[in-house]
Amino acid sequence: MPMLVSASTSKVLCDGKPIEGIQELQFKITRNRANVHTVGSHERLSGYLGALYVECVLKVRSSFEELDKKMYETIDGIKPFQIVVQLGTQGKGDPVKQISFDDCVLENKSLGMDATGVAVTTYSISAKSAKEE
């Protein structure tokens, strides 16, 4: 039976603190790859696979003060943080799956406001690793 994850029962935490007003969460894990081609052919002969690169985007209604502070830290003051996503299913209180993003760094932040007048801050984060439990 497939697991249907519900946004209303899921939580996103930053260093253990709940992020209120989450509108959207996206993450992408990419394996670094280099292709090897043969001379005179359009087909790939093989490829070299390397390390994983983890990217995460959070969209929050208004803003999240903890992440706002991290954007303005000096280079010497940048401290990695952790994002944990606890996925829940509709009607159940306990998380059914947890995704942890470790040693995160805030790469950029933007703010947008539409005609409804609700500001949404977008945080782009890179992580050293991700694991699903």
Looking at residue 92, its pLDDT comes to: 66
Cβ proximity of 101 and 54 under 8 Å: yes
Taking a C-beta distance cutoff of 8 angstroms, is the pair 12, 83 a contact?
Answer: yes
Q: How far apart are CA 54 and CA 121, in angstroms?
A: 20
**What does the pLDDT read at residue 109?**
97
> pLDDT 10s per residue in the chain (133 long)?
667 888 888 999 999 999 999 999 999 999 998 989 888 888 888 888 989 999 999 999 999 999 999 999 999 999 999 999 999 887 766 778 999 999 999 999 999 998 888 899 999 999 999 999 8
Q: What CATH code is carried by the domain that includes residue 23?
A: 2.30.110.20
Choose among 124, 127, 80: nearest CA to 100. 127
> How many angstroms separate the CA atoms of 88 and 77, rounded?
35
Q: Which domain holds residue 92?
A: 5-132
pLDDT of res. 90 = 78
Number of domains forming the structure of the chain:
1
pLDDT number for residue 1: 60
